[in-house]
Structure 1
Amino acid sequence: MSTVAYIQADMVMNPLLLKEINKKPIIEHTIERLLQITDINSIAMCLHKNSSNLALGYLQNKYPTLTLNFSKEQNAGKRMIEMFKSTRPSSIVRVTGDQIFLDIAETQSMIDDFKVNQCDISYHDLNDGLLPEILSYHGLEKCQIPIGKYHRFLKYINNNPHILSIKKREHGSQTPFFRFFIRNDREFHVASQILQYNLDYNRFNVYGELLFGDTGLYDDGWFETFESKQSTKTSGELVPWMTYPAIDFLTPRVKKEFSVFEYGCGAGTIWWSKRVGKVTACEHTSHWATHVRGVAPENVTIIHVDLSKGDNYARQVEISNENYHVIVIDSRDRINCAKSAVKSLTDDGIIIWDDSQRERDDEGKEFILSQGFRKLEFKGMGPIVKDKNETTIFYRDGNCLGI
């Protein structure tokens, strides 16, 4: 009984197929996964002939067991039937070009069962990318006209009466929640992490919701920041090193006419500079002040202050002789910074205190509250670190954020 693997691929539908993970294109990961399955000795692809798909032509020379044809036919179902009209294999293991996590042992077991049961089609009930669809050419031939109306033959089967014998395959109790295809940037990132760190993706049902579920961590760029130790979003944009809930709260409320003073400078300085009229920051580390000064735009002033000079650092906001809409406390001598900050705000000004969960700074926070301020605490994860932190905004009535 002859078994051949068929890869359904299209660079127009999935331009990530040639994107590399561990220095190898996704499509090659899939091919090499299939070649590890004992009963698969040959692989076939029939691609719609267009300029995008021609980029996959090199695969024919790289893999001797691969037969790759180009066709004028746009319909994926018809191309598959066209591919096997002459060879008529007993069973066809169909996968998509991005199924790089195909379960080798389970797929071999599916092939064995398919041979014994002699059904027309066997497929995974969850369609999570870990198992293929297996079909007989005889089954395809029986329904080739109606199947040819659909790009996915399973779409036809699930929505129309048919004469095919079907077996649904369960993957077992360890089936993960995640769909292991690679069709967008998020799925590409997850796949890269799995291969880079050799993660056991079959156990993601235990901890995957936290890592990759609807937590917002991917969209916030947390995975990149944890690896790079740079405070950025997925897009590469610099963001303040404070909790994501605080960033989300501030973003729509910040106005161009604001002036901002920061104790400490860095990614947040650049973030503020793009959203407000003026940013002034004092920094106690000389080389870091020089670095940020070199990358900051013209509306940013960086002041280097030696911490050894008494309370000079905390008093910089007073020394500037200006009032600010926003004062950010995120560096040294925080209690004294708080005492100077309340004197240097506009009437509608607010104070942002990052890492406000630290009890050693309670005196400064209590002082601000004693001056007629109220507070909002934003607890959660933030860039770079895996710990839960807190960012607090102190405000009064008629504040610039409209709280």
Structure 2
Amino acid sequence: MKKQGSYSTLFKPRILYGLLSLSIKGYFVEKGWINSYLTKQALDTSGNPIPWLTYSFLDFISGRLKSNFKLFEFGAGNSTLYFSEFVASVKSVEHDEDWFNKIRPLLPNNVNMEYVNLGENYSSTIFNEDESYDIILVDGRQRVDCCKKAVQKLTSQGVIILDDSERAKYKEAFDFFKDNGFRHIPFTGIAIGAIHHKSTSIFYRDNNCLEI
């Protein structure tokens, strides 16, 4: 078992000073983490929506997205709004009907979002259109199965992004990607509004669209 800290350390002047400093300057303020944590929304420093992914991943992909990319995502939300600004089109599927109805009025014209009940072949909805995608984001339910389906709908240069990839239950997806010739990079660390360790992983092959 990993050693954990104790609340008694909070009373040490140096620790207390450091924690208070984090709320007014430094990395957490510069990234907008403080505002996201307080409001329970994924926002940058200017209040714009950003995906609930790790900051290290967002730093990496910034500047690599291209205006001709087609993106598919399992799980809609702030990621939909964020990516739609940089790519040609976004196709999203969402299983939560209340959430679907909440964000639908906010979507730009280059987004096609579909509500899909989990009992209605959720992971297979990626086959509903005769389209291949440059980027597929797996950040909804049934993630292992979604990863397996996603491989069949990638362009020759396409990549797959799996969020929360630190979770042991997604190991099957890692094994599947490896067996199918994919390598991966885990972007670990702090995520938007989260205080625990997280990871967002990219699975890619040679000559991929992100030039890895």
What is the TM-score normalised by the length of structure 2?
0.89
Residue 349 (1) aligns with residue 149 (2): no
Instruction: Give the counterpart letter for 1:314 in structure 2.
Output: S
- Say if 1:262 and 1:279, in contact at 8 Å, map to a contact too: yes
Q: 1:76-91 to 2 correspondence within 5 Å?
A: none
Structure 1 unaligned blocks of 5 or more? 1-199
Partner of 2:195: 386
Residue 400 (1) aligns with residue 206 (2): no
Helix, strand or coil: the match of 1:279? strand
Q: Distance in 2 between matches of 1:214 and 1:223?
A: 10
Q: Distance in 2 between matches of 1:323 and 1:234?
A: 34
Partner of 1:248: 59
Q: Distance in 2 between matches of 1:252 and 1:216?
A: 20
Q: How many residues align?
A: 201
Q: 1:327-346 to 2 correspondence within 5 Å?
A: 327-346=136-155
Partner of 1:264: 75
Residue 235 (1) aligns with residue 46 (2): yes
Deviations 1:243-280 (A, max 9, x none): 00000001111111111101000011000011111001
Higher-Rg structure is: 1
Residue 303 (1) aligns with residue 114 (2): yes
Instruction: Give the counterpart letter for 1:328 in structure 2.
Output: L
Partner of 1:290: 101
- Say if 1:254 and 1:276, in contact at 8 Å, map to a contact too: yes
Q: Distance in 2 between matches of 1:352 and 1:317?
A: 15
Q: Distance in 1 between matches of 2:159 and 2:144?
A: 16
Instruction: Give the counterpart letter for 2:183 in structure 1.
Output: R
Helix, strand or coil: the match of 1:306? coil
Runs of 4+ in 1 over 3 A off after TM superposition: 207-211
Q: Distance in 2 between matches of 1:265 and 1:344?
A: 18
- Say if 1:338 and 1:365, in contact at 8 Å, map to a contact too: no
* 248-257 or 208-217: bigger deviation: 208-217
Q: Distance in 2 between matches of 1:244 and 1:334?
A: 21
Residue 368 (1) aligns with residue 177 (2): yes
Give the Å deviation of 1:362.
Answer: 1.0
Structure 2 unaligned blocks of 5 or more? 1-9
For residue 323 of structure 1, the aligned residue among 117, 126, 132 is: 132
Instruction: Give the counterpart letter for 2:106 in structure 1.
Output: V
Identity of aligned residues (%): 36
Deviations 1:108-142 (A, max 9, x none): xxxxxxxxxxxxxxxxxxxxxxxxxxxxxxxxxxx
Instruction: Give the counterpart letter for 1:264 in structure 2.
Output: G
In structure 2, do the counterparts of structure 1 residues 372 and 215 end up closer, same or farther at CA, with 3 Å as the change threshold? farther
Partner of 2:3: none
Helix, strand or coil: the match of 1:294? helix
Instruction: Give the counterpart letter for 2:74 in structure 1.
Output: Y
After superposition, the CA RMSD in angstroms is 1.9
Q: Distance in 2 between matches of 1:208 and 1:323?
A: 52
- Larger RCO: 1 or 2 (CA < 8 Å, sep 6+): 2
What is the TM-score normalised by the length of structure 1?
0.48
Q: 1:143-292 to 2 correspondence within 5 Å?
A: 203=13, 205-209=14-18, 212=22, 216-292=27-103
Q: 1:29-44 to 2 correspondence within 5 Å?
A: none
Helix, strand or coil: the match of 2:126? helix
Q: Distance in 2 between matches of 1:216 and 1:259?
A: 32
- Say if 1:329 and 1:352, in contact at 8 Å, map to a contact too: yes
Helix, strand or coil: the match of 2:93? strand
Give the Å deviation of 1:218.
Answer: 1.1
Q: Distance in 2 between matches of 1:365 and 1:302?
A: 27
In structure 2, do the counterparts of structure 1 residues 354 and 215 end up closer, same or farther at CA, with 3 Å as the change threshold? farther
Q: Distance in 2 between matches of 1:215 and 1:339?
A: 40
- Say if 1:258 and 1:325, in contact at 8 Å, map to a contact too: yes
Give the Å deviation of 1:216.
Answer: 1.9
Give the Å deviation of 1:215.
Answer: 5.2
Helix, strand or coil: the match of 2:48? coil
Q: Distance in 2 between matches of 1:241 and 1:223?
A: 14
In structure 2, do the counterparts of structure 1 residues 208 and 307 end up closer, same or farther at CA, with 3 Å as the change threshold? same
